[in-house]
Structures are given as structure tokens and as C-alpha cells.
Amino acid sequence: MTPRSARLILLLDLIGTFVFAIEGAAIAMAARLDVFGVMVISFATALGGGIVRDVLIAAAPPQALRDWRYPVVAFAAGLLAFGFYSALRQVPEYVLIALDAGGLALFAVAGAEKSLSLGMNGLASVLMGGVTGVGGGVIRDVLLNTVPAILRTDIYATAALAGAAILVASQKAGLSPRWAAALGGASCFSLRLTAVWLHWNLPQAA
């Protein structure tokens, strides 16, 4: 892994961690959890996907547990959301959807980029991008005893996989990691928002 790739992955990971920790805290507070429960859900939502990814690609111990910045960002975001929950509840839904899409895009491209930088093949890197993007949300929903959102929400995991695939394809075509990440992230973000706007869903059994 080159120093430039490492810095890019760190930046994407930390921004995505903050965004998903805020989202996890908001959902936990809506479920009437106490402050400890909010911190647990914030951590799981923000870092669960990255931890699962690192375990699967044998990057152990997971970066989120080796680097103190990850849990600090997750817990700080959770406390911030807890302290300003009344203000957070006033944020328009479309803003929250956009932030969630941004977090999804950041994690999808970070997961794919890290997998590529460690020598994983293209398909595995795409799958790890998807795992990074949606893994934390799945863990959160399991902890809250609800059906995981990715199994019932319009295009979500598909957007993460699409963004990761575009990043991988762009790098294989010779694009620099930064531009490939930007293209993959923008694709994931725009696909997710378009799916929400147009109410796109994957086919279901008749």
C-alpha cells in the first residue's frame, strides 16, 4: 500500500465514520436507548462494516481497533448527536438521506480501495466495498432487533457495489486512485439519491 493510498483510505474512512456514527446515534435515540446504548450503536454503525472487511481480507487486527482515531471519531459523533438531539430532529429528511448516501459512498470506495491496495482481485474488492458500506447498518439493525434495512430499502447495497465496481474498473483502466475514488463515490452517491427520488426498487417475487 502506497503512502498516498493509505492517506486516501484514512480520510475517506474517518469522514464516513463520523457520518454513520451520527446516523446510528439518531436511530438509537429514536429507539429510546440510553446514552450507553447510543454509544454502542454509534460505534457499531460507524465501524462494524470496516471491522468485518478487515477480518475477511486478513488485515488483522482491524484498523478501527488499532488506530485510536476511529473509535474517538465514532464516540465523539455519538455524543454530539446525543447532546444536540433536539436540533438533529429538526433536520429535514432529505438532508439526512443525502448524508447517509454520502457515508455509504465514502465507505464503499474506501473498502474497495483498501482491498485493491492489499492485492485482492477486482471481484473481491467490489464485494469488500459493499461489505464496508452496509455492514455497520446490518449490525445496527440486528442489535435493535429489526430487519436489516438493506433487505427492505430501495437501491442501497446495490449502490455501494456499483460505486465500488466503478472504482475498481477505473483503476484497472489506469485512472489514479484519487480520481477513481471520486468517480466511484459520485456514482454511488448519485445512484442512491436517484433511487430514493424515483422510488426505485429491486424486483420482488410476484
| Residue the block writes with cell 447532546 | 83
* pLDDT at site 206: 64
* pLDDT at site 132: 94
Q: How far is CA 60 from CA 31, 55, 63, 119, in A?
A: 33, 6, 7, 15
The cell numbers describing 196, all together, are 430514493
pTM of the model: 0.88
CA 138 to chain centre: 11
| Residue the block writes with cell 484514512 | 10
Return d(Cα 89, Cα 8) in angstroms, integer. Answer: 32
* pLDDT at site 115: 93
CA 47 to chain centre: 8
Return d(Cα 76, Cα 101) in angstroms, integer. Answer: 21
List the pLDDT tens digit at each of the 206 positions of the chain.
Answer: 567 667 777 888 888 899 999 999 999 998 999 999 999 999 999 999 999 999 999 888 998 899 999 999 999 999 999 999 888 888 888 888 898 899 899 999 999 999 998 889 999 999 999 999 999 999 999 999 988 877 776 689 999 999 999 999 999 999 988 899 999 999 999 999 999 998 888 777 66
Instruction: Please spell the DSSP secondary structure of the chain, one letter per residue.
Output: --HHHHHHHHHHHHHHHHHHHHHHHHHHHHTT--HHHHHHHHHHHHHHHHHHHHHHTT--S-HHHH-THHHHHHHHHHHHHHHTHHHHTTS-HHHHHHHHHHHHHHHHHHHHHHHHHTT--HHHHHHHHHHHHHHHHHHHHHHTTS--GGGTSSSSHHHHHHHHHHHHHHHHTT--HHHHHHHHHHHHHHHHHHHHHHT-------
* pLDDT at site 1: 57
